Amino acid sequence: MNSRRNWSFFFAELHESFSMALTALTAHKLRSALTLLGVLIGVFSIIVVMTAMRVLERNVENNLSQLGSRTFAIQKWPEVQFGNNSDWEKYWRRKNITLELGETVEKKATLASAVGIEGTFWGGQIQTRYAKTAPTVQLLGETTGSFEARNWTVEEGRIFNDNDVDDARDVCVLGAALAKSIFPFGSPVGNELKINGINYNVVGVLASKGASLGGNQDNFVIVPLTTALNRYGLRWNGLGILVQARTSAVYADCEEQVRGILRAARKVRPGAADDFELFSNDSLIEQFDKFTRAVRIGVVVVSSIALLAAGVGIMNIMLVSVTERTREIGVRRAVGAKRRNIMGQFIMEAVVLCEIGGVIGVVLGILGGNILAWFMKVPPAVPVDWSVLGLLICSIVGVIFGTYPAYKAANLDPIESLRYE
Amino acid sequence: MSLIHLRNISRCYQMGAETIHALRDVSLEIQRGEYVAIMGPSGSGKSTLMNLIGCLDTPTAGHYELNGANVSEMDDNQLAEIRNREIGFVFQTFNLLSRSNALHNVELPLIYNGMAMEQRRRVALDALAQVGLADRVHHKPNELSGGQRQRVAVARALVNKPSLLLADEPTGNLDSRTGAEIMTLFEELSRKGNTLVLVTHEEDIAKHARRIIRLRDGLIASDEKQAAGPG
């Protein structure tokens, strides 16, 4: 037999198996639908959760990527906390991060290209002669290094210089969105505005980072940290330090260096845990992944059990199908079908049944998971890897639970089955 | 060399503690182009003989050669292949796939010998035309009359150009008029040179054949040739 004939043989068989499966399934629509419902639910639950996780992950990534690359931050409090809150007291007892500490880092961190110290202050009301905002504009106190570390670029005017910070001048830099809303008619640079009634001079406007999730990122006003501290005092949560490593290559070393400086300055005993939080974008995302891992594993386990149950249902229905079609099997055997042909056909039927359920499950799962994206106003996510895996699992379930009925079908005696009523 | 060559064939079945001898030491030759009827009351072993000749079963003892191939030694796969290549079955109950149309039913044997799709279609259409159903190819069995169904079954049996057409009570489920039609069709097939083996218990049907083999209690009771049948 030449290879061309082999191939056509294979395709004829495959095609016949497939069309037989479809004929069999459409002949009992309700029965098929009920059977594949199990697979559908199993796959749906995997895909819907994985899609939702993808959406959340993307949202978190977007929210967290405020730090520039090569930048990490040091705070008294963790930036985000997933899960339990039991460590609250531990964080509370820590010493505040002060301006002096930040300056020590700035002085000693030789691997850093920029060190910024910042504090967030309460929301304020900004007033110009054109407009007045709600009293919710975020007030940030920053040093010169913050601009580089934060990846802020100036659209107009200038950033703070050392004199602004050292002398605690009454100057400010505006976020793009805020600038537009309070100075609708022209450049804000050089103009005066009032933050909670106190006059400041606008020296610069930042380039827009775009309106992203959960509101406008650019709705803030920045004043020199020293000015803010003089006027409003150190808040309970202390200051944050932003460090940008010189290059990606020295990033890890830079992190270690800063960690050492901080531990020495805060007199942490060797071997004791850090009494501050050091984090970067990556570590935050990693933290989120760790938090969601348990959920994902749980879903996979539960769905596997659902698929197992669905598989048993499929085996059951396939056994019924084999009995019902005993005569058909006899006819096929009589006209020359081999055992393996019959076996292949019934396994194919089980796989097709599973795959129909699987495909519907994947589609519904992706749609369902993306409802979350729609609510969170995040671009939709399609977990291709999980979809493929889900369909693969469906096929495996079909093969595993279709094999016994198929084996039974293949081993029917052709004479008996031709006579079967 | 004869087409069918049975030598000292025995077939026993185990029914509980009892052994039933369905065929005892049967020897039989059928030549190419013959039109043979196998007759006998129920329990005479005619079904067993038909299953053996049709390569659905293998003998307990003895030697069976079909078209030069030693069937008595074959395994399940080889039996399937030889059924596919050498034998066309026509059953009393038609045994068509009820959810497939006439064309697909006729194509079925070709699928298992791996014929390419277009060629398969052409050959199947030819076979259907041969039995006079060229205008019924897309009908499902339940849309066809009994006679038409049996014609589809005959087309299916012929489509692989088998060396032997094996019909088991082909008119058993048909009224006498359509039965006669089918017998005329067989007559014609025989004239064209096909080898036909007909299993029946009806004398009128058997009369169509040129040779009648009568079985009784697993033995050949008589084997007589006769002149061309009526019609």
- Sign (positive or negative) of CA dihedral A265, A267, A269, A271: negative
The pLDDT assigned to B42 comes to 86
Report the gap between the CA of A290 and the closest CA in chain B (Å): 54
User: For residues A9 and B51, what is the distance between their CA atoms, to the nearest angstrom?
Assistant: 27
Of the candidates B112, B156, B160, which has its C-beta nearest A337's C-beta? Answer: B112
- Domains of chain B and any CATH numbers: 34-55+86-225 (3.40.50.300)
Say if the Cβ atoms of A332 and B89 lie within 8 Å.
no
The pLDDT assigned to A214 comes to 42
Residue of B nearest to A22 (CA): B99
The pLDDT assigned to B230 comes to 52
The structure tokens listed for B162 are 């088998």
Which three-class secondary structure state does DSSP give residue B60? coil
Residue of B nearest to A411 (CA): B76
What is the greatest pairwise CA distance in chain B? Answer: 54
Report the gap between the CA of A17 and the closest CA in chain B (Å): 10
Say if the Cβ atoms of B80 and A415 lie within 8 Å.
no
Digit-by-digit pLDDT tens for chain A (421 residues) are: 456 666 767 777 788 888 888 888 888 889 899 988 999 999 999 999 889 888 887 777 766 656 666 888 888 887 766 656 667 777 877 888 888 888 888 888 888 888 989 888 877 888 888 888 888 888 889 998 888 888 788 888 898 988 888 898 999 999 888 888 888 888 888 888 888 888 999 999 988 765 444 445 678 899 999 988 888 877 767 788 889 888 888 888 998 899 999 898 888 888 888 888 888 877 777 777 887 888 888 888 988 898 999 999 999 999 999 999 999 999 999 999 999 999 999 999 999 999 999 999 999 999 999 998 888 777 888 889 999 999 999 999 999 999 999 999 999 999 999 988 7
User: For residues A341 and A141, what is the distance between their CA atoms, to the nearest angstrom?
Assistant: 76
Which three-class secondary structure state does DSSP give residue A138? strand
Q: Is A9 an interface residue toward B (CB < 8 Å)?
A: yes
The structure tokens listed for A58 are 């993307």
The pLDDT assigned to B231 comes to 46
Report the gap between the CA of A13 and the closest CA in chain B (Å): 7
- Region B22-34: mean pLDDT is 94
Nearest to A274, CA basis, from A26, A17, A72, A66? A72
Per CB distance under 8 Å, which residues of B are interface residues toward A? 51, 54, 56-57, 76-77, 80-81, 83-85, 89, 91, 95-97, 99-100, 108-109, 111-117, 120, 156, 160
Which three-class secondary structure state does DSSP give residue A365? helix
Q: Enumerate the residues of chain A whose CB falls inside 8 A of the CB of residue B95.
A: 327, 330-331, 334, 418
pLDDT of B229 > 70? The answer is no
Of the candidates B51, B114, B117, which has its C-beta nearest A415's C-beta? Answer: B51
The pLDDT assigned to A26 comes to 87
Q: Is A334 an interface residue toward B (CB < 8 Å)?
A: yes
pLDDT of B159 > 90? The answer is yes
Report pLDDT digits (tens) over B52-86: 999 999 999 999 999 999 999 999 999 999 999 99
Report the gap between the CA of B87 and the closest CA in chain A (Å): 8
- Name every residue whose Cβ is closer than 8 Å to that of residue A211 and which is 6 or more positions away in sequence: A177, A217, A218
CB A146 within 8 A of CB A153: no
Stretch among A285-299, B106-120, B209-223 having the lowest mean pLDDT: A285-299
What b/e readout covers B54-65, taking b as 16+ CB neighbours within 10 angstroms? bbbbbbeebebb
Domain locations in chain A?
12-62+287-419, 95-275
The pLDDT assigned to A63 comes to 64
The pLDDT assigned to B144 comes to 94
